[in-house]
Amino acid sequence: MTNCSSLKKAVTCTAWIRRFCHNVRCRPGERKIGSLSPDEKRDALHFWIRLAQEKFYFAELDALRNGTTLPHHSSLSKVRPHLCKDGLLKATLRTNEPSVIILPDLGYITTLIVDEAHRQCFHQSTRTTLALVSAEYLVRRRTVLRIVSSCGRCRRYRGLPYNSAEGTLPEFRTTPARAFSKVGLDYFGPIYVDPGETKVWGLLITCATTRAVHLEVVRTQSTEDLQLALRRFFALRGTPSLIYSDNAKSFKKLSGVLPRSTCWRYIPEASPWWGGFWERLVACVKKSLKITLHQCRLSYDELATTFYELALHLNLRPLTRDNEDAALTPAHFLFGITSIRGVVSPAVDPAATLDRAWRNRRRISDHLTRRWTGDIYRP
């Protein structure tokens, strides 16, 4: 029977085998022919139920046949079991409804019956399946829950996606380097500005190591406007040695006119998750602008000023865990401040020599590098 994956198949095969055995023993005129009758299918189903009850409730069946009381450890003592004329073990309900057949928890026939009911109710919940089964059988809810939970089709549609292990970060993100020496960039927008609701775009440039942010406003996504924005960025932050971006046409056209010391690399096509370290910050910028500006229309100059102020506050965000008192921020690596008014390094004593002051600044820089390596990338 365990070779049958459905109740219909098990009952049909058993009914045909029982008919064959019947026809072998009887005379030719008494043999059954044609398709299976409902009585034959019912008898085949009851045959397997009786076998399961004999296996799991043999002590209770012996007690009922001998007219003695049930064993004290029996799980059927509260359902008032009795034997019907078919030899099946049934439970007497407290209402006036007909008695129902008792199904053992671990019987394979129980699994087939519950699975068939689960399919008949279109793979609905455990409660619906239990209500359908309870019309003819007595079965525990936890048994129905176990069988419904193992339904292959339900698990396919209700299961969570595969959670793959996170890969190691690339070397250019974990090697200490000057701020904005290795960057990733992307466009976001459009944003409407006055007059005439002109469309402009934002260009986000983020440092791959310190996670610092630089924002620029561009009038179009053309190569010329991108080149001007990068020239402003190079003048303010220095020329990076490595630039990562997606495969936009304006990015590819500009890669040939960069300084020789700059290498421009592209992520695979149709793979935005490769640029996660800048896409995450693009989402932060868009959320902040949407909530702050709401339905306001700024001029081009006002929007450019807003971009610089927003970049300042993004560079003040903590990079380490929230429960730390002095969280490490991108501003530490840009200009040494932890807040708008505070500085991370003490004021230099005018009487101190330049050599001592340089060593002091160097010690602070090494301390920030150790914190960056130990706090940001620890598990």
The domain segmentation of the chain, as residue ranges, is 7-158, 177-314, 330-376
On the question of pLDDT at 372 being above 80, the answer is: no
Q: Can you read off the two tokens belonging to residue 63?
A: 């007690």
Contact 4, 116 (CB under 8 A): no
What is the C-alpha to C-alpha distance for residues 157 and 179, in angstroms, rounded to an integer?
A: 46
Give the pLDDT confidence of 187-243 residue by residue, as tens digits.
998 889 887 778 999 999 999 988 899 999 999 988 889 999 999 999 999 889 999
Domain topology for 7-158:
Endonuclease III; domain 1 (1.10.340)
Give the pLDDT confidence of 204-219 residue by residue, as tens digits.
999 998 889 999 999 9
In this structure, is the dihedral angle defined by the CA atoms of residues 268, 271, 273 and 279, taken in order, positive or negative? positive
What is the C-alpha to C-alpha distance for residues 316 and 200, in angstroms, rounded to an integer?
A: 26
Tell me if residue 365 falls in helix, strand or coil.
helix
Helices 108-120 + 7-25 axis angle, to 10: 120
Half-sphere exposure of 335 toward its Cβ, with a 13 Å CA cutoff? 10
pLDDT at 379: 43
pLDDT at 344: 45
Give the pLDDT confidence of 75-95 residue by residue, as tens digits.
888 888 888 888 899 988 777
Tokens 């490769």 sit on residue:
274
Strand arrangement of the beta sheet that strand 242-245 belongs to = 213-218, 198-207, 182-193, 242-245, 263-266
pLDDT at 336: 67
pTM of the model: 0.57
Over range 296-312, report the average pLDDT.
88
Contact 250, 222 (CB under 8 A): yes
pLDDT at 345: 46
Over range 48-54, report the average pLDDT.
92
Helices 141-149 + 126-133 axis angle, to 10: 120
Amino acid at 354: L
pLDDT at 363: 65
CATH superfamily of 177-314: Ribonuclease H-like superfamily/Ribonuclease H (3.30.420.10)
